[in-house]
Amino acid sequence: MKSTTPICHFGYNNGILPALYKERRSHIKRIAVTLIIFFLFIWVVWLVIPDSLINGYIKDSLEGRDVEIKLIGLKKGIFYTLRAEQGQILYAGADISSSLSDQEIKPLIVIQDMNVTPDLHSLLELTPRLNITGHMNHGTINGTVTEEKWGMALDVTGDNIQVNGLPVIEKIGMYGEGTLKFNFQRKHRKGEITFSIDNAMLKGALPGISALPLHVFRNVRGLLTIGDNTIAVNSLTMEGKGVYTRIKGIIKEGNFDGNIEVMTDSSFDLYPILKSLLARYKVSEGFYVIPYVHKL
């Protein structure tokens, strides 16, 4: 006959494990109820806060810094969201007005139908971040706003935006039609803008260089760095059939000071005229460097 060893169920048979399990469930339930009450309280507080108080807090929190975000027609949503008819990002560092007495700073970026939502994951990490969405000249805007030691860190991207009438383009003296993509980043009190314009149909000519009309260019690429009341044009390139132009310089107090490099070949329609008018700037065959100073 086989011998069998009895299996011990001491803990279970005496009710120890069920009691522990029941106590643990009760503890988890109390924590869950506490969290629900807490978030309901925060939600109720959010609902009763006046819109004007939120707008004032946003403005006051940025007071005295070089970045300002204005929310026009602000209304709060039910679940910790904000909606504004218009959002304006003003950057004192990018104010290149020639009038030092004019204290009004023009918006660098204007966003229509702007939505602001908190990033819940960032709140858990104690690094609050806001997500921004909206529209600009028939295009889309997405970005983030994060608090940092030096103020506000911004990262704003625009896509499929129509060029005509945009302050960020008009600041460098460009007008016309085209589809714009851009990215604006501001960290550690420094700003940087990269942008491109495809299918460009620009108007007029660079002031002082009438032999080079802007309508000959179809693609534009730019990299601008924003410092203390200066904009460094690190590279602004314009390309068309048989012609390539690169602009570099500094914008300060409403004045641009830099150089324009022009490269052409015989396939450029205006090559004979340009060759004659720019002869004194010739560096080599088809390559010209023009000192350029212009009041914006």
Identify the pLDDT of residue 101.
Answer: 43
d(CA 261, CA 118): 46
Tell whether pTM > 0.75.
no
pLDDT digits (tens, 9 = 90+) for 278-295: 888 899 988 999 998 877
pLDDT digits (tens, 9 = 90+) for 78-137: 766 778 888 887 765 555 444 444 456 677 778 888 888 877 666 556 667 788 899 988
Domain ranges of the chain: 27-170, 204-296
Q: How far is CA 37 from the centre of its chain?
A: 37
The secondary structure of 177-207 as a DSSP string is: EEEEEEEEEEETTEEEEEEEEEEEEE-SB-T
pLDDT digits (tens, 9 = 90+) for 124-156: 566 677 888 999 888 999 998 887 776 678 899
CB neighbour class for 133 (10 Å; exposed up to 12, middle 13-18, buried from 19):
middle
What is the distance in angstroms between the CA of the first residue and the CA of the last residue of the chain? 107
Specify whether the CB–CB gap between 229 and 204 falls below 8 A: no
Identify the pLDDT of residue 279.
Answer: 87
Which residues sit opposite 114 in a β-bridge?
A: 84
d(CA 207, CA 295): 9
d(CA 200, CA 236): 14
For residue 255, what are the CA distances in angstroms to 95, 173, 224, 250? 12, 11, 15, 8
pLDDT digits (tens, 9 = 90+) for 211-236: 678 888 989 999 999 877 788 999 99
